[in-house]
Structure 1
Amino acid sequence: MNDDTALGLLREARTRFTQRQIADYVGKDIKTVRRWEQGETPCPQLLGPALRALLAQAPCHFSGNGPAFTFIDLFAGVGGIRLGFEAHGGQCVFTSEWDSYAQKTYAENFGDSHPLTGDITKIEARDIPDHDVLLAGFPCQPFSIAGVSKKNALGRAHGFACDTQGTLFFDVCRIIEEKRPRAFLLENVKNLMSHDKGRTWDVIKCSLIELGYDISPRVVDGAHFVPQHRERILIVGFRKEDDIRFDWDAVDLPPKGVQVMRDILHRTDGTEPVLPWDGDRFFSHDARKVQDKYTLTPKLWQYLQDYAAKHRAKGNGFGFGLAFPDSVARTLSARYYKDGSEILVYQGEGINPRRLTPRECARLMGFPDTFRIPVSDMRAYKQFGNSVVMPVMREVARVMAPLVTGQAEQPLPEHQAAA
């Protein structure tokens, strides 16, 4: 390839992929890709890495005869799981997300042909399109086992509809029962297995098995892909009758610490990309610095230092967390907007630290710079704090995709294939 510009990469991609496939991969609509290709608007240079990654995809994931597989996106948030599965040829045919602000971000980035549905509890399972894979980052809720225990004592049968009624996991189960997808991926917090003294996990596990699926759970730390310790449980399931074994050993987890904070922080050396959809909202390109509003006020910084000192005196580890260029950060939480205390960026001796900007939060979760942030900073912090590490989902999707589409042989992890 002679032309390594973004436009050159786009034109090479068009020799192998459709405009729809490229648009889905980079998170844009077809009209935008068409304008780039025809030279009506400049193709952003920051798309270069994404287009190179697309060109590295196995052709089988994009056969040109429609999507490799279909999926639905439940409790979708801002679409982090979706991005991972679209990267391997999946097409989303149904989305459910109740939060109106998350809906706004989702719609801005995906612009679906299908309507974005709100409260999943009000949707009949039979009205959901057929699909190959169900994706759900469902909330963790306690289950009441009093009735279950009583039925056990009486020797009466009971099932997921009884055990899970009143929880959002019930809605996942009723859709699985009705639509019988070939596979699913469920995501939740690390302590799901210990939640409510293990009762929550017992109900989830038994319910999924009862529905006729073989399940494979694993806790994965996002630090394999991004500079953030973020452990989440992923539950992969395949229909028993298909006799498919999901192998977590096939999931390629790079060493932790390869990605450090320097890789996601705004660059002050003049190389920070200019994103038309961000402008100078987060970063002043003229001054080559993060906007001053993200630096902690003297009052807040003093409060956080006093709070940490008080807990250190008690022998506790509570307090703020400073992030340095070569470090890996703590877990980004949905409460980050309050004071940013879990991840404060060190700005030098005698200078108050600062919060991450929402763009840096997006990068910390593995979202590409093409991902747009149309909501306020407070809403953006909540959305990314509640989201998933997208490259984790993309890697799990890489292993799941050939199993879903019926390919007999799983692809090698990328670092092995290149060896």
Structure 2
Amino acid sequence: MVKQWERGCGRISPTKQRAIENLPDTIPFKDDRKKGSFQFIDLFAGIGGIRIPFQKFGGKCVFTAEIDKHSKVTYAANFGEVPQRNGDITKFTASEIPDHDVLLAGFPCQAFSQAGRKQGFLDTRGTMFFEIQRILAAHHPKAFLLENVKQLKGHNGGDTLKTIMAILRGEASAEIPSDVMMSEEARASLGTHFDYDVDFEVLRARDFGVPQIRERIYIVGIRRDKGAPANHERIKEMFGRIIENYQLKVPLKDILVDDPERTRDFTISDNLWTGHKERKERNRANGKGFGYSLFDRTSEYCSTMSARYYKDGSEILIDQSDLGRNPRKLLPEEARALQGFPEEFVIDRVGRSQLYKQFGNSVAVPVIRAIASEMLREANIRTRKT
């Protein structure tokens, strides 16, 4: 009906007209500043989980890339921006991307994840790293942050990560077969020599104030001063400060909604619950540990929420035996809190399945906040005083 009203199609009653006009139109993270304390770009942005802390520290996002149409709806609802050219980073030359101080990218993880085919650079999604490389080669920002699944560390016996690190550290170029899909500009930039101090760390979200395991690999690079020798150890020391100074434990009960009426509609069906139990029993008989995971208000934390959560919720089911009900899936607002997104983050512009998928693909915001704080300081990037 809102779409009909926007287009001026059909007749709408005065009552509904008033209801539409009274709908909230706040865009909570819209940034109308012409310039920030520093400029950054948000690549493979998802719904903006990496952007939020860097914007909070005073950064101005000057370019966004995200290709998923549903994620773009949620992104636009919260930031008031829609990526150009369908959000496809391969459609932009490096010169068309504005100058920036910081590059942020949660580049596609399916090529490296346990749930994917683990094809790495042979997968088109895996070559998206080289789209990042060509932008770094052209703009040479002061710092960058890349995020991916923990499995990247062990993919192809560790060789994939070694290749990525060698390229980012300026130690080697990559030999990528000609039949691997990649933009011409990305292929031409493969031999570019970088002068970044770079290192990585696998961090758990549950150590930073959200009650889920969620282990992810974070790669940070900071540009060296001209003529300065390589010092990758300073990035390792930076991660050490993050682990030492930003840890916070939050129990699962702190993000669960205690409202039997509100949670009723999220209770799984008898058929689904029976299927979960039978599948777990079969797996146990076959010596496999796969199956549903059940949690309650006494649990310290839960499993990692994945992009497939919308299908059956098996990795995080909340026990309701005290109510005489089957277990339930997380509420949308619980999924938001589980990833550490602010309460004002808009979550009602897409359907429930898409929302679960978006949060399952996103980052834990408190982890990014901790990294941003130390990374910007280490790179001597001026931030907003808060």
Partner of 2:165: 205
Gaps of 5+ in 2: 1-25, 112-118, 171-193
Deviation for aligned residue 1:118:
0.8
Q: Aligned to 1:292, what secondary structure does the other structure show?
A: helix
Q: 1:29/1:198 Cα in 2 relative to 1: closer, same or farther (>3 Å)?
A: closer
Query: Is 1:384 the equivalent of 2:359?
Result: yes
The answer to whether the Cα contact below 8 Å between 1:132 and 1:404 also exists between their aligned partners in 2 is no
The answer to whether the Cα contact below 8 Å between 1:223 and 1:230 also exists between their aligned partners in 2 is yes
Distance 1:28 1:290 in 2: 30
Query: Is 1:259 the equivalent of 2:264?
Result: no
Deviation for aligned residue 1:257:
7.8
Distance 1:185 1:326 in 2: 35
Q: 1:322/1:91 Cα in 2 relative to 1: closer, same or farther (>3 Å)?
A: same
Q: Aligned to 1:308, what secondary structure does the other structure show?
A: helix
Q: 1:406/1:303 Cα in 2 relative to 1: closer, same or farther (>3 Å)?
A: closer
- Which stretch of structure 1 is more off in the superposition, 202-211 or 164-173? 164-173
Gaps of 5+ in 1: 1-22, 31-63, 146-163, 269-287, 412-419
Q: 1:264/1:124 Cα in 2 relative to 1: closer, same or farther (>3 Å)?
A: same
Q: 1:219/1:319 Cα in 2 relative to 1: closer, same or farther (>3 Å)?
A: same
1:404 to 366, 379, 383: 379
The residue identity in structure 1 corresponding to 2:214 is: R
Q: 1:326/1:256 Cα in 2 relative to 1: closer, same or farther (>3 Å)?
A: farther
2:276 to 304, 329, 348: 304
Query: Is 1:372 the equivalent of 2:342?
Result: no
The residue identity in structure 2 corresponding to 1:27 is: F
The answer to whether the Cα contact below 8 Å between 1:347 and 1:353 also exists between their aligned partners in 2 is yes
Give the structure-2-normalised TM-score: 0.75
The answer to whether the Cα contact below 8 Å between 2:317 and 2:329 also exists between their aligned partners in 1 is yes
Deviation for aligned residue 1:112:
3.4
The residue identity in structure 1 corresponding to 2:350 is: V
The answer to whether the Cα contact below 8 Å between 2:52 and 2:365 also exists between their aligned partners in 1 is yes
Q: 1:239/1:94 Cα in 2 relative to 1: closer, same or farther (>3 Å)?
A: same
Distance 2:159 2:56 in 1: 35
The answer to whether the Cα contact below 8 Å between 1:84 and 1:397 also exists between their aligned partners in 2 is yes
The answer to whether the Cα contact below 8 Å between 1:212 and 1:239 also exists between their aligned partners in 2 is yes
Query: Is 1:241 the equivalent of 2:215?
Result: no
Q: 1:315/1:114 Cα in 2 relative to 1: closer, same or farther (>3 Å)?
A: closer
Distance 1:329 1:346 in 2: 12
Deviation for aligned residue 1:187:
0.2
The residue identity in structure 1 corresponding to 2:74 is: T
Distance 1:263 1:165 in 2: 36
1:295 to 254, 267, 273: 267
Q: 1:202/1:253 Cα in 2 relative to 1: closer, same or farther (>3 Å)?
A: same
Distance 1:321 1:134 in 2: 37
Distance 2:366 2:79 in 1: 18
Q: Aligned to 1:289, what secondary structure does the other structure show?
A: helix
The answer to whether the Cα contact below 8 Å between 1:220 and 1:233 also exists between their aligned partners in 2 is yes
Query: Is 1:194 the equivalent of 2:154?
Result: yes
1:170 to 108, 122, 130: 130
Distance 1:291 1:175 in 2: 46
The answer to whether the Cα contact below 8 Å between 1:190 and 1:232 also exists between their aligned partners in 2 is yes
CA deviations on 1:200-223 (whole Å, 9 max, x unpaired) are 112211111122211020000000
Q: 1:102/1:346 Cα in 2 relative to 1: closer, same or farther (>3 Å)?
A: same
Q: Which runs of 4+ in 1 moved over 6 A?
A: 254-257
Partner of 1:229: 213
Q: 1:377/1:253 Cα in 2 relative to 1: closer, same or farther (>3 Å)?
A: farther
Query: Is 1:96 the equivalent of 2:87?
Result: no
Residue correspondences, number: 317
Q: 1:406/1:111 Cα in 2 relative to 1: closer, same or farther (>3 Å)?
A: closer
Deviation for aligned residue 1:290:
2.2
Partner of 1:68: 37
Distance 1:312 1:113 in 2: 47
Distance 2:153 2:128 in 1: 17
Partner of 1:333: 306
Distance 2:154 2:75 in 1: 32
Distance 1:127 1:263 in 2: 45
Q: Aligned to 2:211, what secondary structure does the other structure show?
A: coil
The residue identity in structure 2 corresponding to 1:294 is: F
The answer to whether the Cα contact below 8 Å between 2:263 and 2:328 also exists between their aligned partners in 1 is no
- Which stretch of structure 1 is more off in the superposition, 369-378 or 289-298? 289-298
The residue identity in structure 2 corresponding to 1:97 is: E
Distance 2:204 2:132 in 1: 24
1:134 to 84, 103, 117: 103
Q: RMSD value over aligned CA atoms?
A: 2.9
CA deviations on 1:153-180 (whole Å, 9 max, x unpaired) are xxxxxxxxxxx99811110000000010
The residue identity in structure 2 corresponding to 1:377 is: R
Deviation for aligned residue 1:348:
2.2
Distance 1:113 1:333 in 2: 25
- Report the identity percentage: 44
Q: 1:357/1:200 Cα in 2 relative to 1: closer, same or farther (>3 Å)?
A: same
Q: 1:113/1:89 Cα in 2 relative to 1: closer, same or farther (>3 Å)?
A: farther
Distance 1:249 1:325 in 2: 32
